[in-house]
Amino acid sequence: MHTIVRRNAYYQALFFFVDGVMSADVRMSPREAILIFRERFEIDDLDVSVAVTTFNRMRAEYIRNNNLFDEKQDKSTQPDDGTNHRHACHGMGESRR
């Protein structure tokens, strides 16, 4: 079972929202996407630095446990401070036909 599935719904929502925002705009950092998440869902007490750390850990878990990533993609599991615009998006928008 993928480790993301074992997380609670809040962290799953955070992870996939942030991942989706970053996929839509590859210039977006995790921190910026989390600020959008906080505003969108009106979570005033969200600790952004904790959320960035959580996202980075979940991203590392997702990459380690996901066999969809090929060797050409960024498989780095090192956490960042939320300002790094690193995001695995190799092949995004390419036709698979």
The C-alpha atoms of residue 76 and residue 41 are separated, in whole angstroms, by: 29
The C-alpha atoms of residue 11 and residue 70 are separated, in whole angstroms, by: 25
**In tens digits, what is the pLDDT along the chain, a chain of 97 residues?**
556 666 788 998 999 999 999 999 999 999 999 999 999 999 999 999 999 999 999 999 888 877 654 555 555 555 666 665 555 444 444 444 4
pLDDT of residue 30: 97
Indicate the domain borders of the chain. 3-65
The C-alpha atoms of residue 28 and residue 21 are separated, in whole angstroms, by: 7
